[in-house]
Amino acid sequence: MTAPVLETRDVSCTFQIGAGLFKAKRPLHAVNGVSLKLMKGDVLGLVGESGCGKSTLAKMLLGLQAPTGGDIRFDGAPIMGLDRRAIARRVQPIFQDPYSSLNPRKTVGSIISLPLRVHRVGEPDEWRDRVEAMMDLVGLARRFTDSYPNQLSGGQRQRVAIARALIMKPDVVICDEPTSALDVSVQSQILNLLQDLRQELGLTYLLISHNLAVVEHMATRVAVMYLGRIVEENDTDSLFQTPRHPYTQALLASVLTPEPGLGVPDAQLGIAFPNPIDPPAGCTFHPRCAQALAQCSRVAPMPIADGNGFTECHLYNPAKDVAA
């Protein structure tokens, strides 16, 4: 069986947070034992509320943040010991905001060719050809080569960011809210472009998004993250048609508004997102869970396999009544 192109095994990232003068620091488990596999050509959607650990996980995959536990592997080989440049050849990001991720003082050609110069790929007299070929691929007219970011529209800037991410021919692209800063009218163009590029170049995506409609449209698999853990993972159809974890059910219910114009209804999660420095005992979702069992406040659930994925919830543990 082929190894996943990118895999995390029980990966954790814990920060020590100051609690005040004369008080000991306290651990914040931003990512807490996450195991994920990205198979070649997959689009793995990663969803969850702000502060759940998605961005910290993405930083670890990009080599920008060292894990405090577990293992990250490319093609089955640990990345431990690889330097930042070696990781950047394999995995590249596309960020949410093309306005702030592009240097306003550099031309489009200079921005797109930057990775070639940093990694000393090819000869300088080839770079312009490679930049123009990449601009063709992402649908950006060559006349913009000597333009500056402030002379482009939001959609054109995001095409520049995509070209810069792809010019090194990475295996994996981390798309962090790639369309949420764009006008609605250009969002679908950029999503379709990402889909076309994935097929044409054989790319694998980790798609981080708050927009569940985008995830449903793009992803082949979906992982739901809550307080640093993946609480449910499955293929996209199964997860959207029969969400199993109560948190996934609440997330989906929050966007399934029957009447256009009514806005996003309340997710029915009761209290607010808990403080990650002081997470609830047992299942960390239990204070917000409408289906909590007696043991949920005491015993942390284990992942329960389910067809193509798993759910981390006592409701699906055949021994749940015994443990109560």
Residues sharing a CB contact under 8 Å with residue 22, sequence separation 6 or more, in sequence order: none
Please, what is the minimum distance in Å from the beta carbon of residue 269 to ligand SF4?
Answer: 11
Site string for ligand SF4, 227-266 (x = CB under 6 A): ------------------xx--------------------
Considering the rule CB under 6 A, would residue 160 count as an interface residue with ligand SF4? no
Please, what is the minimum distance in Å from the beta carbon of residue 313 to ligand SF4?
Answer: 3
With respect to ligand SF4, which residue has the nearer C-beta, 79 or 313?
313
With respect to ligand SF4, which residue has the nearer C-beta, 63 or 246?
246
Contact in structure between 206 and 29 (CB atoms under 8 Å)? no
The DSSP output letter for 145 is: T
With respect to ligand SF4, which residue has the nearer C-beta, 163 or 225?
225
Residues sharing a CB contact under 8 Å with residue 123, sequence separation 6 or more, in sequence order: none
- 264-283 residues in contact with ligand SF4 (CB under 6 A) are 283
Q: Using alpha carbons only, give the angle 162, 165, 168 rounded to the nearest 5 degrees.
A: 135
DSSP helix/strand/coil, 219? coil
Q: For residues 320 and 296, what is the distance between their CA atoms, to the nearest angstrom?
A: 10
Considering the rule CB under 6 A, would residue 224 count as an interface residue with ligand SF4? no
Considering the rule CB under 6 A, would residue 225 count as an interface residue with ligand SF4? no
**Strands across the sheet containing 303-306:** 91-94, 172-176, 204-208, 43-47, 221-226, 229-235, 309-312, 303-306
Q: For residues 226 and 245, what is the distance between their CA atoms, to the nearest angstrom?
A: 11
Considering the rule CB under 6 A, would residue 186 count as an interface residue with ligand SF4? no
Considering the rule CB under 6 A, would residue 226 count as an interface residue with ligand SF4? no
Considering the rule CB under 6 A, would residue 286 count as an interface residue with ligand SF4? yes
Joined together, the tokens standing for residue 277 give 């420095």
With respect to ligand SF4, which residue has the nearer C-beta, 95 or 247?
247
Number of residues located near ligand SF4, criterion CB under 6 A: 14
Considering the rule CB under 6 A, would residue 303 count as an interface residue with ligand SF4? no
Strand partners, 205: 43, 173
With respect to ligand SF4, which residue has the nearer C-beta, 277 or 294?
294
Q: Under the rule (CB under 6 A), what is the footprint of ligand SF4? A: 245-246, 283, 285-286, 289, 291-293, 296, 301, 313-315
